[in-house]
A and B are shown apart, each in its own frame.
Chain A
Amino acid sequence: MILSRLAARPLLLAAGLVAVLALPWMIYPPVALDIICWALFAAALDLLLGFTGLLSFGHAAFWGSSAYVAGLLALRAGLPFPLAVLGGALFAAVLAVPVGYLSVRLRGIYFAMVTLAFAQMIYFVVNQWRDLTGGENGLQGVPRELAGLDLSDSFVFYHAALPLVLLGLLAAWRIVRSPFGRVLMSVRDNPARAQALGYPVQRYKLLAFVLSALLSGLAGGVFALGHGFASLESVYWTTSGQVVMMVVLGGIGTLWGGALGAALVVLLNDYLVTSGFEGIGIVTGTIFVIIVLVFRRGIWGTARHLVQDRARRPGGPPSAAGEPDGAPAPTGVGSPV
């Protein structure tokens, strides 16, 4: 049975909401928390990668620095967790201004390398500033409380954090759907044309970069407080690669696909760790190689492609190619070098 597009959307949303609410009952609560945090992180990256055509390979800088700042705000300043998280997210956004300003002037692969290098700079700073960040031990013993309520139980924390994460996801969705989002897509598809139409392309790219960093920071802050620590790994380049993998696995330019990819990667990692398998990189690297070689649309992208393909046949509703989240062709990431 083919649901009409009108009915499918609210149904999918409702199903998603129920699944998210029920998640910590179904799986180990800390893993559930990981899933929603990475899902938001992936959506934030897709805002940039899928909708603006910029592959940032340094988003760990924003997720991780927010984790540290949020952790410090809770630990040293005693801020309640939502404020600490917002503080972290704001810090990430502010950090994104100079990094983005320098990076968006380059395109495609150059952009990816430069963001990666900047993220590594942040990593070294965090690693060396031991008095503040704890160096290799990370920031430990971060309190989790809200108005005297103890949130250190992961199950409780999950529900306290869920509204923040959903708010972030909603924001990403709104951005993509807004006229601003349309401009971003026109920048992605043809920067020269967007420029000719009078849009200040660089400024739009920078704004998308900062918004993406803000949402990544929100996710990173929730992640750090949820676990009660910020680790050096959160600013390392493997974290940047991990989130890119989630987006590519889910489907570039699908927004929700990233969340799906995040869930799968987190579950897979959890399974591998608990089964004592050493060398997770072998598995995740292989997945990466396979999706890049033969499965470039990703899971969500492939599913939607199939549905749309069917719908496009005689009698079906008109093609959805103009939809804001219409899948870019598999070759359409970024501008060719």
Chain B
Amino acid sequence: MLQQAFNGLVGGAFYAMLALGLAVIFGMLGVVNFAHGAFYMLGAFGSYVLLDSYGVNFWVSLAVVPLALGLVGVLLERLFVRRLTPLDPLYNFLFTFGLALILQDLVKRRYGVQSQPYPRPALLDGTVDLGLFTYPAYQVFVLAVSLVLCAAVWLVLTRTRAGMIVRAATERPELTRALGVDVGRWVTPVFGFGIALAGFAGVLAAPMRAVNPLMGADLIITVFAVVVIGGLGAIFGSVTAGFAIGLVSALGNLYVPALSQTMVFILMAAVLLWRPAGLFGREEALS
């Protein structure tokens, strides 16, 4: 059971990283990025292609791929997303949906639907003795990295001046503007950062999950449910919900296997009944 709980936390780490990216983008731009799963998939494929064609190892990919995808995100925001933000948020949702279809099928056309292998980095190939059970070292690494990452983002947001501006602009854009902060200047880097985060999660996923064009498509919908549970726009809530949902669905899987995949959606329905704005959400989501 402890081992299942650990599996759940590792799975939850991916939910948390993706939910974190979605949350900062949503908070800053009001955009729900449907293509977030596609960028996660591109992250995994990026590291696969770099290794397969150029022999670039995992550690380099982990730095290079998110950076490259972050730049793509910056371009995307500058060229397209920016033009749609003054309109109804639904248009950006539809735009990123179209983008997700394009990215997914471009990769599918080039590499087919079968999964591509990606070996674990040699350094993390073994197992770790955790006292009560042994566990694959790579999974432990993923969990640790995601925890550190989420904590780092949290510290940046709460302890630095830049983080303060981002949080202020997220919660009260008008007031922040009125105080003389150029909110527009922060929008592009935050969007790029969110995309880079998705790519980073993708690179991390490559050695332990199937690298295939559809890997992001199903995950993103689960992450949407996670974000709804945590409260959209609530950064802390999204991350916490990510880990919690991973844990709960892994334990649920242990006792009621038939419900393993629907668990998160059942939880979402329950949370909506109890707190329609999400566990940590603000009431503005409600009509």
User: Contact residues of A with B, CB < 8 Å?
Assistant: 55, 57, 98, 102, 104-110, 112-114, 116-118, 120-121, 124-125, 128, 191, 201-202, 205, 237-238, 241, 244-245, 248, 278-282, 284-289, 292-293, 296, 330-337
Contacts and interface: CB of A to CB of B under 8 A. Distances in A.
Contacts of A286: 98, 102
A241 B108 CA distance: 18
A112 B285 contact: no
Given A280-B105, A281-B105, 14 more contacts: A105-B272, A106-B276, A106-B285, A107-B285, A108-B88, A108-B90, A117-B228, A118-B265, A118-B269, A238-B101, A241-B101, A244-B94, A288-B94, A289-B80
Contacts of A104: 287
Q: Please indicate which of the listed interface residues B30, B91, B95 has the most CB atoms of chain A within 10 Å of its own CB.
A: B91
A74 to B, nearest CB: 27
B261 interface: yes
Interface in B177-226: 217-218, 221-222, 224-225
Interface string B66-110: 000000000000001001100111110111011111101110110
B273 interface: yes
A113 B90 contact: no
27 contacts: A106-B286, A108-B90, A112-B90, A114-B268, A117-B221, A117-B225, A120-B222, A124-B262, A244-B97, A279-B106, A279-B109, A281-B101, A281-B102, A281-B105, A282-B101, A282-B106, A284-B101, A285-B99, A285-B102, A286-B102, A288-B94, A288-B95, A288-B98, A330-B87, A335-B287, A337-B30, A337-B285
Interface of B: 30, 32, 80, 83-84, 87-91, 93-95, 97-102, 104-106, 108-109, 217-218, 221-222, 224-225, 227-228, 232, 258, 261-262, 265-266, 268-269, 272-273, 276, 284-287
Nearest to A286: B102
B90 to A, nearest CB: 5
Given A121-B262, A124-B265, A285 B224 contact: no
B32 A113 contact: yes
* Majority-rule SS of B interface residues: helix
Contacts of A128: 258, 261-262
Contacts of B222: 120
B32 A112 contact: yes
Nearest to A107: B287
Given A106-B285, A282-B109, A285-B101, A293 B232 contact: no
Nearest to B224: A113
A102 B272 contact: yes
B98 A292 contact: yes
Q: Please indicate which of the listed interface residues B83, B84, B95, B285 has the most CB atoms of chain A within 10 Å of its own CB.
A: B285
B21 to A, nearest CB: 15
Contacts of A334: 88, 90
A109 B95 contact: no
A154 to B, nearest CB: 28
Contact of A109 (B32, B87, B105, B106): B32
A113 B228 contact: yes
A121 B272 CA distance: 15
Give me the 3 closest cross-chain CB pairs, A-B, nearest first. Answer: A288-B98, A285-B101, A281-B105
A105 B286 contact: yes
Contacts of B218: 120
A287 B89 CA distance: 19
B53 to A, nearest CB: 21
A120 B286 contact: no
A281 B224 CA distance: 21
Contacts of A238: 101
Given A281-B101, A282-B106, A113 B232 contact: yes
A293 B261 contact: no
Contact of B90 (A117, A121, A280, A333): A333
A285 B266 contact: no
